[in-house]
Amino acid sequence: MATSRTTERPALPTSSEPAAARHLNGLCKYVVEKRLQKSLEKTCVEVMKGAKVPRNPYPVFVQRARQQAERIRLSSWTIPEGFQSSTTFPTEPTALGHVAGSKGFSHVWGHPVVLRCVSPPAIERAAWLIEDVTPPLSILRCGQPYTIQVLPALTGPSIFSDTLFPAPHELAILQLYVIAGPDPERASALYADCVLGDVLRTVQQGRHYLLRVKVPSSSEGHFDLFNKEEVEARRSAFLSGVQRSLKTQLPVQADCVWRTDPQGAAFQGGVKLYSLCVLQTSETLRGEKVLDFSECPLIHLYSSVFLHQAHAEAYVRMFLPAKGHPGPTGKWRSPPCKA
């Protein structure tokens, strides 16, 4: 009868370069001290004991390891000052009560509560990327009486990097199209054209890599997938899908690999989220009516950071008037978020 034995762990890797060896030794020491290895082994056992083993269990391992590492990092703050230092960046008010700027920095604008929890230097590292992937107004042709404005922003957990979260796994960029005109249906068709044009522009430029585009098909999270070849070959289906996705109130998502600097020395995975807001203009309305196609009005103000004051204020003015100035009339397409 064969005797069972415990399989030994593989030997730690080594490097002939002194700097790399020191870094690797430090990393291995951290893993041992924080018991990340045992945590990962325990996760592995739990996953493999399940009734249905996933085809690729490694994403689960990585997710659990990240959660464990974050718990360790947070628990290392033995006094409140550690947490407070990451949530007290000073802000400066603007003419709009819901828009502020980060004190001492001219590239961070948004809701003051959000700005207190972001790191302006960390966001500045994404400034070139956001400017590079935002289409210039000169290529957004729509024809009178319609106008198009693009409001780009950094969004999601990536805005809190270097503060509440470690370096983000992916950079999420919001590209909000504000289209003004009399016919919402025509505005939605123009929006679909803009999304198609921007996706093709990303492919043709070659600075960034487009992996696929997810077009929501239901509010339950179902979507249609298009790779870069299918976007070009199935233009009609793509345009129709983007227009229909507006009913789901979910953004169209392009999965990309970003080049994060002009020299092309660094790359990072990320997404671009497309969304639409229509300002319906009509003489019978005696002003403008806001039709918001997001999950709820002002949602981007509480989850994003704008790099230009004018963009942050333009977004807020669609819903909240400045002091002493009347705001748009009419009803929201989506109900306001509940606190």
User: What is the pLDDT at residue 86?
Assistant: 62
Percentage with pLDDT > 70 across the chain: 78
Q: What is the DSSP string of 94-146?
A: -SSTT-EEETT-SS-EE-HHHHTTS-HHHHHTTHHHHHHHSPPGGG----TT-
Q: How confident is the model at residue 231 (pLDDT cuts 50, 70, 90)?
A: very high
Q: Provide the 10 A C-beta neighbour count for residue 86.
A: 17
Query: For residue 16, what pLDDT is reported?
Result: 67
- Averaging pLDDT over each range in 3-7, 65-69, 218-222, 247-251, which range is the top one? 247-251
CA distance 299 to 333: 13
Phi, psi of 308 (to 5 degrees): -135, 135
Backbone φ, ψ for residue 288 (5° rounding)? -125, 145
pLDDT for residue 181 is more than 70: yes
Q: What is the pLDDT of residue 331?
A: 42
Confidence of residue 14 (pLDDT cuts 50, 70, 90): low
pLDDT of residue 323: 47
Overall size of the chain counted in residues: 339
What percent of the chain is predicted at pLDDT more than 90?
Answer: 43
- Give the pLDDT confidence score for residue 316 in this predicted structure: 93
In tens, the pLDDT along 25-66 reads 777 777 777 777 777 777 777 777 777 766 666 677 677 777
Instruction: List, for residues 200-215, the tens digit of each pLDDT value.
Output: 999 998 899 999 999 9
Q: Is 13's pLDDT higher than 80?
A: no
294 neighbors 178 (Cβ within 8 angstroms): no
Is residue 301 over pLDDT 70?
yes
Distance of CA 289 to the CA centre of its chain: 27
* Whether pLDDT at 158 is above 90: no
What tens digit of pLDDT does each residue of 119-132 get?
888 899 899 999 99
pTM of the model: 0.72
pLDDT tens-digit series, residues 241-262: 999 999 999 999 999 999 988 8
pLDDT value at residue 47 = 74
pLDDT, tens digit, for every residue of 312-332?
Answer: 999 999 988 644 444 444 444
Please, what is the average pLDDT of the chain? 82
Residue spans per domain, the chain: 59-86, 125-317
Give CA–CA dist 244/335, Å, rounded.
Answer: 19
Which pLDDT score is estimated for 3?
Answer: 47
Residue 294 Ramachandran class (φ > 0 left, ψ -120 to 50 alpha, else beta) = beta
pLDDT of residue 45: 79
Is the confidence at residue 219, as pLDDT, over 90?
Answer: no
67: confidence class by pLDDT, cuts 50, 70, 90 = confident
